[in-house]
Chains A and B, each alone.
Chain A
Amino acid sequence: MLVKLAAIFFSMILVNNYVLVKFYGICPFLGVSKKLDSAVGMSGAVIFVMFMATAVTFPIQIFILDPAGLSYLQTIVFILVIAVLVQFIEIFLKKYIVALYNSLGVYLPLITTNCCVLAVTILVVGDYGADVAAHGFGYAYIEALICAIGAGCGFMLAMVMFSGVRKRVEACDPPAPFKGLPITLIAAAITSLSFMGFGGIVENLFNVTL
């Protein structure tokens, strides 16, 4: 069981990396990865919000939407929950954990419309919702949360790696039409290429099928 959870965690980071392989959250990836400290701050906020959002939306789907036959309201309900949650986190941090607010505060408004948060909440329902019947709610819930944290850590890995790549890219002198975003996208292509090498690693390492 622990092996499967570890496999989920590492596959979310390396094989199914949300930014470089699945293309969720490209906007902050291109916009905020210029400096290492802002890349870390943004990813920290994303991990936190992803975890909280999954922790709230997964039970809502299993205990409220599914029994009531309202699964089609998933999109509306989830985006509203995420928007409210981000507001709530902002108010809470501002009042009680000022140090954390000072480092994450600027990134929080960006996160509501960050597609990786909505994506992870929708995807874990599809991937682990079926496990509720097979293994009980507790196990499926833990799987979903591990998946959310893994996805957030994968986001952080991509951001931190890419902020280093970007520093080198910006010191270069590309042909005039490539200056700025185009050369950054080409650099992202090469970074994403390196992640393709991880395909199949988790299945072989942990000897489980996901």
Chain B
Amino acid sequence: MAQENKSKVSILTNGIIKENPVLRLVLGTCSILAVTTAVSSALGMGAAFTFVLVCSNIMISLLRKVIPGKVHLPCYIVIIAGFVTIVQMFMQAYMESLYNALGVFLPLIVVNCIILGRAEMFACKNNVVDSALDGVGMGLGYTLTATLMASIREILGSGTWLGFQIIPESVAKVSIMTQAPGAFFCFGLLMAGCVWLEGKLDARIERKSCCDLDNLKKEAE
């Protein structure tokens, strides 16, 4: 029993640290770069993302023996798109300012590689409880990383954190941090910091972008 509990915990924490989807697996970079201009939108995106990931993982795990192998990808996409639509309608009705802040990145959760990747790598092979835990862990990993990056960008760029004034008005702001170049810069520095930490802990891994052509060719062979 103790052994089993331990493995459940490790599934949960796997997504937060060991296989952090953003900093270690380098997946879903588009939305990370775009929504981290403010902490509030990063948290909102993280919540929407986690909901979709947990629900689609549960659904795909339940249907894993029913979905025929040949058409599994279209089936996954329909399931994910269905949950994204639910989130979209919910946010439009109850959180309109957040809905407007996230804009097109909300429907773009459908094509986020983390969700499809977890469906393909985890949910279609594991039972419902494990898949749900994996979804929660991955979602938390995404949300925490997004919040960390948004904190850096919002504090430096607007002098606020979640709307509260942190740096006094009289100090000049680094407004480039809330604009496009700041996103790339901040992400690059965070990733370098992560690699440095791995070097200290002796846990370095090789990072590849999810659309790496060499990977794809290897798989095709």
What residue in chain B is nearest A180 (Cβ atoms)?
B207
Q: Are A181 and B213 in contact (CB under 8 A)?
A: no
Q: Are B212 and A106 in contact (CB under 8 A)?
A: no
For the complex, is B88 an interface residue (Cβ under 8 Å from A)?
A: yes
For the complex, is B217 an interface residue (Cβ under 8 Å from A)?
A: yes
| Known A25-B30, A80-B74; contact A74-B107, beta-carbon cutoff 8 A | yes
Q: CB-CB < 8 A to A181: which residues of B? A: 26, 188, 191, 207-209
Q: B30: which of A23, A175, A182, A195 is its contact (CB, 8 Å)?
A: A23
For the complex, is B155 an interface residue (Cβ under 8 Å from A)?
A: no
Distance (whole angstroms) from the CB of B206 to the closest CB of chain A: 8
Residues of chain A in range 161-182 having any CB-CB distance to chain B below 8 Å: 175-182
Q: List 12 A-B contacts (CB under 8 A).
A: A22-B180, A23-B33, A24-B30, A27-B210, A30-B211, A79-B111, A83-B73, A106-B213, A112-B111, A177-B196, A178-B192, A186-B185
For the complex, is B136 an interface residue (Cβ under 8 Å from A)?
A: no
Query: A175 CA to B192 CA in the complex, in Å?
Result: 9
Q: Main secondary structure on chain A at its contact with chain B?
A: helix
Besides A32-B211, A75-B110, 17 new A-B residue pairs in contact (Cβ under 8 A), listed by A number = A20-B180, A23-B31, A23-B180, A27-B210, A30-B211, A72-B85, A74-B107, A79-B81, A80-B78, A114-B211, A115-B111, A122-B104, A176-B196, A180-B207, A183-B192, A186-B185, A193-B176
Q: CB-CB < 8 A to B167: which residues of A? A: none
For the complex, is B45 an interface residue (Cβ under 8 Å from A)?
A: no
Q: A27: which of B113, B189, B220 is its contact (CB, 8 Å)?
A: B113
Residues of chain B in range 74-96 having any CB-CB distance to chain A below 8 Å: 74, 77-78, 81-82, 84-85, 88-89
Q: Are A196 and B211 in contact (CB under 8 A)?
A: no
Q: CB-CB < 8 A to A188: which residues of B? A: 184, 188
Distance (whole angstroms) from the CB of A97 to the closest CB of chain B: 21
Q: Are B29 and A26 in contact (CB under 8 A)?
A: yes
Q: CB-CB < 8 A to A180: which residues of B? A: 207
Q: Are B74 and A110 in contact (CB under 8 A)?
A: no
Binary interface encoding of chain B residues 21-43 relative to chain A, with 1 for a CB under 8 A from any of its CBs, else 0: 00000100111011000000000
For the complex, is B179 an interface residue (Cβ under 8 Å from A)?
A: yes
Q: Are B111 and A182 in contact (CB under 8 A)?
A: no
For the complex, is A210 an interface residue (Cβ under 8 Å from B)?
A: no
Q: Are A75 and B184 in contact (CB under 8 A)?
A: no
- Interface centre among B85, B88, B110, B209, by most A CB within 10 Å? B209
